[in-house]
Amino acid sequence: MSRQKRLLLVAGAIALALAVVRPSRPHADLAILTHRAGDTAPQQVHAAVDLGILAVSVLVTWSRQLGR
């Protein structure tokens, strides 16, 4: 086996090991819950943005009774 093939094989093995072992990406999670506990059908909006370095997930829930 030539030296170049061996280096390519080692580099591939290292890349595979890094892909398997790498830790999960950090993410932010923000939740605003303002619905009443007795409300059986709260209104809600859920949005998520992932920029690669930073991920933001937002859940906003409100009660129809609070809007009156």
Return the ∠ at Cα 39 (arms to 34 and 43), rounded to 5°.
Answer: 60
State pLDDT tens for residues 3-15.
898 999 999 999 8
What is the rounded average pLDDT of the residues 44-52? 78
Helix (H, G, I), strand (E, B) or coil at 5: helix
Q: For the chain, which residues make up each domain, given as ranges?
A: 25-68
Residue closest to 54 by CA, chosen among 29, 28, 22, 24 = 28
Characterise 57 by phi-psi region: left (phi > 0), alpha (psi -120 to 50), beta (else). beta
pTM exceeding the 0.75 threshold for the entire prediction = no
